[in-house]
Structure 1
């Protein structure tokens, strides 16, 4: 099913919990590819070389089609899978979570491990926060130098995201991201402000916060 919005981490964050002497340090950050997610896991291994486990989970894509998890030596299904379940249940995409564990000498059992890895992932995700990304239509608005300020202000006031402004020798081109249904109203607005001299061209889609 096609999606027109999804959630991503608002930033990178960490959270730590301790259970019966074992310390769990969770990290969450946004990534755009599987390679980037795996590089982050490798970074955690290098940084915390003295830890016994670096379990991970990631979800990539607006539809969450790419999902992976790794128990990294913990009993099967007690670490990576519950971490992944937290990400899926929260409906967060383009995200990687790594939980590093320093063993404290006391076995936690399968249930204890599932709870610890789930809680650490959830705490790190809470610390990071989330933002919504929406699928928008790319729009280019061409106006004169004297009209660009008013046009830009009116577009922003209507919730249109301005991605860039290109000041040419003649006209100015505003690149914007608009809701699909807003393209026609934008054209009407620009025509009214510029008395018909402005141009509006829509083409392609992109994801924006």
Structure 2
């Protein structure tokens, strides 16, 4: 399992270039059907626009783009390339254009659609999906205070806690942080508390300064 970038939520931003208005809209998707539904929703929402250029990239390797009437290679491919260059997957983008009557030329279109895609992605915000180990550990009630403090201090995130005849804690943590946590728990409890692996799964981490992180 490798970490990857995706989108936090749906987002939209716009700009005007030589009287043409461009709206970049982006959303997280996990299937082709979800991407197509997002494209259809944007086309319905901005029904009076001339072009709805779209692209998506999925974690399973599927990708697609459409020029939607713009000259071939000047719109869909630049939008797709913004996703690919930034390593963003499970994401769909639509750049809608309200034509202002002034031709932009091939180079101008490439720059405009790339910029529109970048704005939409920045508005949606990035998430780093990181593979983590799903763990559990058990302790006595007298040990719980120490264990509960050590988990977040060592980079673990508690998912659930069960109080029965003992305390059972479910948490997740990145693989590289587990050995130091295991050592810390053993030191604090005389070796009586040892975490047990349950599974692996992806967990989201926000990416700061999204706008600066994106390449057009």
TM-score range, shorter chain: 0.7 to 0.9
Query: Which residue number in structure 2 is paired with residue 8 of structure 1?
Result: 6
Q: 4+ runs of 1 displaced by more than 6 Å? A: none
Q: After superposition, what is the alpha-carbon deviation per residue over 1:42-84, rounded to whole angstroms, capped at 9, x for unaligned?
A: 11112111112211111221xx722211222222222111001
1:158 Cα deviation (Å)?
Answer: 1.3
2:154–2:181 CA contact under 8 A, matched in 1? no
Query: Which residue number in structure 2 is paired with residue 60 of structure 1?
Result: 58
Of the three residues 170, 184, 188, the one matched with 1:189 is: 184
In the alignment, structure 1 residue 204 sits paired with structure 2 residue 199: yes
Give TM-score scaled by structure 1 length.
0.85
1:196 Cα deviation (Å)?
Answer: 4.0
What is the alpha-carbon distance in structure 1 between the residues aligned to residue 142 and residue 27 of structure 2?
43
Query: Which residue number in structure 2 is paired with residue 100 of structure 1?
Result: 96
What is the alpha-carbon distance in structure 2 between the residues aligned to residue 106 and residue 36 of structure 1?
34
Give me the CA root mean square deviation.
Answer: 2.2
- Equivalenced residues, count: 204
Q: After superposition, what is the alpha-carbon deviation per residue over 1:141-173, rounded to whole angstroms, capped at 9, x for unaligned?
A: 2223443343122111111122x1132422332
Give TM-score scaled by structure 2 length.
0.83
Query: Which residue number in structure 1 is paired with residue 121 of structure 2?
Result: 125
2:150–2:181 CA contact under 8 A, matched in 1? no
2:79–2:117 CA contact under 8 A, matched in 1? yes
What is the alpha-carbon distance in structure 2 between the residues aligned to residue 150 and residue 34 of structure 1?
47
Q: Which stretch of the first structure deviates more once superposed, 82-91 or 183-192? A: 183-192
1:139–1:183 CA contact under 8 A, matched in 2? no
In the alignment, structure 1 residue 179 sits paired with structure 2 residue 174: yes
Query: Which residue number in structure 2 is paired with residue 140 of structure 1?
Result: 136
Gap regions ≥5 residues in structure 1: none
What is the alpha-carbon distance in structure 2 between the residues aligned to residue 180 and residue 203 of structure 1?
13
Of the three residues 24, 28, 31, the one matched with 1:30 is: 28
